[in-house]
Structure 1
Amino acid sequence: MRMVFRWFGEGNDTVSLGQIKQIPGVEGIVWALHDVPAGEAWPIDKINQVRDQAAAYNFHLDVVESVNVHEDIKLGLPSRDPYIQNYITTIQRLAQVGVKVICYNFMPIFDWARTDLHKLMDDGSTALFFEKSKINDVDPFELVKGINQNSKLTMPGWEPERLAHLTSLFEAYKGVSSEELWGNLTYFLEAVVPVAERCGIQMAIHPDDPPWPIFGLPRIITGQESLRRLLSLVDSPSNGITLCSGSLGANPDNNIVSMINEFHDRIPFAHIRNVRVYENGDFIETSHRTQDGTVDITGIVKAYHDNGFEGYARPDHGRHLWDEECRPGYGLYDRALGIMYLWGLWDALERVQPLHRKEGSV
């Protein structure tokens, strides 16, 4: 397991590279060019700038999260081909700085949804919260306003240039079925995966968050069967998964340990986080500790270890602790605590049964 930490860039993150450097075992940053709109090719000079910033702290740039997919590609519009070509150009440029994994998603309009970004917990911390009944009733425009109203930082998945066209996007998705979305994903992957394979890069799709339809929009990457179908679309080691235990864990029917056992050789990137799911379908993001949520974090780490996982992993959304002012879900303190919990589980497993690493691996 190779530990990495998501960083949103100079001037766009309350957490500094110097602070990340002090977290034991973190070897690289998970990054993106958040100021480049979806559909545009990433400029090589901006890519090199992040490379140089990371190199100053001896961090690698192996994992990118995310190179966003333009909505015209998801919709299957005639205009999608130039956007796919820009995506291919970005893949080729990222290969020049040693990128090994590109995390992306294929969620219509919204990358994720929560109804409260700072839900008060019993211990005095706050966390991201999803109230299922509220999401069924809320106007999506009101949700957008609530998520962006107080943030001076970019919110991944809620970029202003995308949300400025919310009305037309909802209109465009009217009548788009899940099967049509699968077809559009297939078209995209058939174009980009061969390029990624030649570049030594693995495309790693992120599951839908939450893993069910919202606002009448189709969601297709929701569980084990859909991940199996995804991998069959293009049979290549470069067609892979970002297995997010928090996104998939919002549905208690998802057996994440089983997914790791089945797909471990196609999981280059793991998001490991916990959620507590309530009987009414609400869920809140908790500490990474197994006992604090509904997701079997201990079993998940053991499954990765038992399968000889040598991919990249990061703690995902954390609570907001000790009055930290930060991007919702992406503060320093709880994610650092999460890393140490994950390392504690991993080190205990290593003590019992050391991982037999492949020849030449780190």
Structure 2
Amino acid sequence: MIESWRWYGPFDRISLPEIAQTGATGIVTALHEIPYGEVWPRETIASRNTEITSAGFDWVVVESLPVHEKIKRGEGDLAGFFANYRQSMANLAAEGVTTICYNFMPLLDWTRTDLTAPVARGGSCLRFEAAKMAAFELYMLGRAEAEADYSAEALQKAAIWHQQATEEDKQGLLHAIMSGLPGAYDRYDIAGLKQALRGYDGLTQDDLRQNYKVFLQEIVPAAEELGIKLCVHPDDPPRDILGLPRIVSDEEDISFILSAVDSPANGLTFCTGSLGANPVNDLPRMARRFADRVHFAHLRNVRKDPDGSFEEAAHLEGDTDMPAVIAALLDENRKSGRAIPFRPDHGHELLEDAAKGTHPGYPLVGRLRGLAELRGVIAGIRHVNGWNRA
């Protein structure tokens, strides 16, 4: 497996020389400054790649080459967007970058209600609090139908939270939820979010699945020709929110996607955090089942609550059997001879992390702790099984 690190390029407060000290050899990044739907110019890709390789790294995964929201909605003439996506892939392949992570989540890339939830022995983590999310949907957005999406316990807590919340609390919640917006980091106020959501009115899970299948039919053949490995990222969280459907949340969803266009180029980013937040998912079993189509792995852990809440746990704590998942991926490495890039996904803010002001979930010390722990698990599994490095 290839140890890698997510880097936000010019937007990142962690430098490549700092990343070098973590021991990671691969960089996971994207051209975040380019608007969705536009072609990634080859010269811009080449410049970013030179910056990465000059610092002693390989650009091992693009995360992400975004899918335009009109494709997700199936809206209008999409030929130009598909053509631009294929051209961006061709430009990446021409520069030797051939693994592309992307997602098919409507509007938001990920959603949390707390960016600095306290951790028992110090530090902070990302948290999704079902009651706060229910309060946001019901009382701040005024989406009455959201009541059907939450447990009675969460709804009761939501009413109490809303009654006691200050204006500062409400703005903090809006900020946390908006932190999952992709692209150039634009953020909505409540009125703006309501307007954005109207564009998805009436979009069902079946609609989104069909739109996704069309995307795969348009893009995967080009990926095959280019030697590109596409790997979809699961929904985060793996549940419908804000009235937006989710279709990459469990084993059945993934099976549908991989069979919709049955090709090695149509693969999966195995995110143990996103998939682990869904209580129905058996991650070791899923890792074994889909291992030959896993082209990239996000390794992190979560701790779930009965009401649907969850928070980021330390990488070897939480509800997911991380060694069992890693063992399945290492076994695939051994059998296939290919090395799967992975990165320590998210991490607690520890020590001086809070003062650095990095992207939420992407601190230096917290991810370094995670990488060190994962590195130890990998070394132990290889030693016990007598497997060579791959």
TM over 0.5: yes
On the 8 A contact 1:72/1:79 being kept in 2, the answer is no
Name 2:4's counterpart in structure 1. Answer: 4
Name 1:250's counterpart in structure 2. Answer: 277
Count residues in correspondence.
Answer: 350
| Partner amino acid, structure 1, of 2:2 | R
Name 2:31's counterpart in structure 1. Answer: 33
Structure with the higher helix share, 1 or 2: 2
2:105 to 83, 91, 107: 107
Name 2:318's counterpart in structure 1. Answer: 293
Question: How far 1:337 moved relative to its partner?
Answer: 1.2
1:336 to 368, 382, 385: 368
Question: How far 1:169 moved relative to its partner?
Answer: 3.1
Q: Distance in 2 between matches of 1:355 and 1:308?
A: 10
Runs of 4+ in 1 over 6 A off after TM superposition: none
Q: Pick closer, same or farther for the CA change 1:187–1:160 going to 2, 3 Å.
A: same
| Partner amino acid, structure 1, of 2:272 | S
Q: Distance in 2 between matches of 1:148 and 1:241?
A: 25
Q: Pick closer, same or farther for the CA change 1:158–1:35 going to 2, 3 Å.
A: closer
Greater Cα shift, 223-232 or 306-315: 306-315
1:121 to 114, 119, 122: 119
**SS of equivalent to 1:173:** coil
| Partner amino acid, structure 1, of 2:83 | Q
Q: Distance in 1 between matches of 2:303 and 2:176?
A: 21
Name 1:65's counterpart in structure 2. Answer: 63
**Equivalences for 1:170-181 in 2 at 5 Å?**
170-181=197-208
Greater Cα shift, 121-130 or 163-172: 163-172
Name 2:182's counterpart in structure 1. Answer: 157
Name 2:95's counterpart in structure 1. Answer: 97
2:346 to 317, 335, 338: 317
Q: Deviations over 1:84-129 (max 9, x none)?
A: 1111111000101111210000001111100011111121201111
| Partner amino acid, structure 2, of 1:268 | H
Q: Pick closer, same or farther for the CA change 1:39–1:144 going to 2, 3 Å.
A: farther
On the 8 A contact 1:308/1:355 being kept in 2, the answer is no
Please say if 1:146 is aligned against 2:175.
Answer: yes
Name 2:158's counterpart in structure 1. Answer: none
Q: Pick closer, same or farther for the CA change 1:86–1:210 going to 2, 3 Å.
A: same
Q: Distance in 2 between matches of 1:235 and 1:9?
A: 34
Q: Distance in 2 between matches of 1:286 and 1:221?
A: 22
| Partner amino acid, structure 2, of 1:312 | P
On the 8 A contact 1:276/1:283 being kept in 2, the answer is yes
Greater Cα shift, 347-356 or 74-83: 347-356
**SS of equivalent to 2:349:** coil
RMSD: 2.0
Please say if 1:169 is aligned against 2:196.
Answer: yes
Question: How far 1:163 moved relative to its partner?
Answer: 4.9
Identity of aligned residues (%): 39
Q: Pick closer, same or farther for the CA change 1:169–1:175 going to 2, 3 Å.
A: same
**SS of equivalent to 1:117:** strand
**SS of equivalent to 1:307:** helix
Q: Distance in 1 between matches of 2:212 and 2:172?
A: 27
Q: Pick closer, same or farther for the CA change 1:6–1:115 going to 2, 3 Å.
A: same
Q: Distance in 2 between matches of 1:159 and 1:8?
A: 12
| Partner amino acid, structure 2, of 1:238 | A
Structure 1: where are the runs of 5+ without partners? none
